[in-house]
Structure 1
Amino acid sequence: MSLALYLSMSSFALAASISPGPVNIVALSTGLRHGFRASMGHVTGATVGFTALLLLSGLGLAELLLRWPGASRLIGAAGVAFLIYLAWNLWRDDGRISDGKAPRPPSALSGAAQQWLNPKAWLAAIAGMGAFGMGGGPLRIWLFAALYFVICYASIAAWACAGARLRHFLDDAGRMRAFNRAMAALVALSAVYLAFEG
């Protein structure tokens, strides 16, 4: 494989992984509420969950979904419902992060499940494998997934790190509540867009 192909794969992976989305918003919020180290379970689970979705897309899941459009609609509806649930929880959060009563950070399993309910992840996996994996044989599928794993992990971790850095500025319930509600509005807008686009 050529260097140009690796650069194209990397650029796609970075653009899809670093851009705002539900999983990255959870990483940011987890970094804010619990700190960087405690966010790494979510980061790891989300990365492993996405990489599994990416590999399955390259190994035939995308073709299966094309044959059964009802399954695609069901996945889309579940993704929109997940986004609405996430937005609601962010909106109603009271903003307190220093009283010792904060819930536990999301687990690795939760991070992986969020990717499977994330419409952005499905689009990135199917589009990425369609562009770079399928047609190049199993070796290219596995190499693309390995490259994507590294870039995805670093991208989600960067969101968690940004949250941990912002913690000092938002260690006030009112500011944190305003921040959470801004994030909730973005997630809700994503849900509305996906509901009407689909």
Structure 2
Amino acid sequence: MSSTLLFSMAAFALAASLTPGPVNIMALSAGLNHGLSRSLRHVTGASMGFTLLLVLVGLGLQSLFHHVPLAGVLLRWAGVAFLLYMAAMLVRASGQEATATPAAAPSFWHGAMMQWLNPKAWVASAAAVSAYTHDGASIAVLAVIFFTLCYASVSAWAAMGSYLGARLTQPHHLRRLNRIMAALLVASALAMALMSTGGTAGA
């Protein structure tokens, strides 16, 4: 495999992983409210969840949604519900004192589930598989590249949140940021709902 192809894979993986989306918004929130170390469960879950999704799409999972369109619609509505749930958790956390860390940081399973319910992850997986995979070896290489850069990217969002959380000591600042992130999750959920009502499946 040429170095040019590897560089292209890495550039694609970095762009797909680092750009804003529900998973990165939650990583930022986790870092803000819980610090970097307690956010790494979410980071690990998101990275492993996406990598598994990528591999299964490469093995043909995407075709399920072409044969059973309802499965894609149901997946998106599940994503809508999950994003609204996470937004509600953020709003609830925003009422806490700045010095009191909320009890439950986002879990490994929350991170993984957000990837599987995130249309951005499905689109990125399908695009990467279409562009770069031609055999089992290239799927494996792509999975390793995506896991590494996804972990680094989501960690960077969590680290940014941790940096902000250490400097915003006033409760109203934390409340404001949490509500902004909750609003972004709601916007993502509304966009997902519009996709579902459009009736398209899969990607």
TM-score by shorter chain over 0.5: yes
**Counterpart for residue 190 of structure 1:** 188
The question of whether the paired residues in 2 share the 8 Å contact of 1:95 and 1:180 is answered with: no
2:141 to 140, 143, 155: 143
**CA distance in 2 between partners of 1:95 and 1:124 (Å):** 36
TM-score (normalised: structure 2): 0.89
Determine whether 1:28 maps to 2:28: yes
Is the Cα contact below 8 Å between 1:80 and 1:195 reproduced in 2? Answer: yes
Q: Per-residue deviation at 1:89?
A: 2.2
Secondary structure of 2:168's aligned partner: coil
Q: Relative to 1, partners in 2 of residues 1:106 and 1:87: Cα closer, same or farther, differing over 3 Å?
A: closer
User: Is 1:74 aligned with 2:74?
Assistant: yes
Aligned partner of 1:152 in structure 2 is: 150
1:8 is displaced (CA, Å) by: 1.8
Deviation at 1:54, TM superposition (A): 0.7
Mapping of residues 1-198 of structure 1, within 5 Å: 1-93=1-93, 94-100=95-101, 102-133=102-133, 136-198=134-196
Opposite residue 23 of structure 1, the aligned amino acid is V
How many Å apart are 1:118 and its aligned residue?
2.1
For 1:42 and 1:126, the matched residues in 2 are separated by 23
Distance in 1 between the 2:33 and 2:41 partners? 14
Following superposition, the deviation at residue 178 of structure 1 comes to 0.6
* Aligned-residue identity in percent: 47
Which ranges of structure 2 fall in alignment gaps of 5 or more residues?
197-203
* Separation in structure 2 between the aligned mates of residue 165 and residue 81 of structure 1, nearest angstrom: 30
- Mapped partners of 2:162, 2:27: distance in 1: 10
Structure 1: which 5+ residue stretches go unaligned?
none
RMSD of aligned alpha carbons: 1.6
CA contact (8 A) 1:32 1:166 kept: yes
Shift of 1:189: 1.4
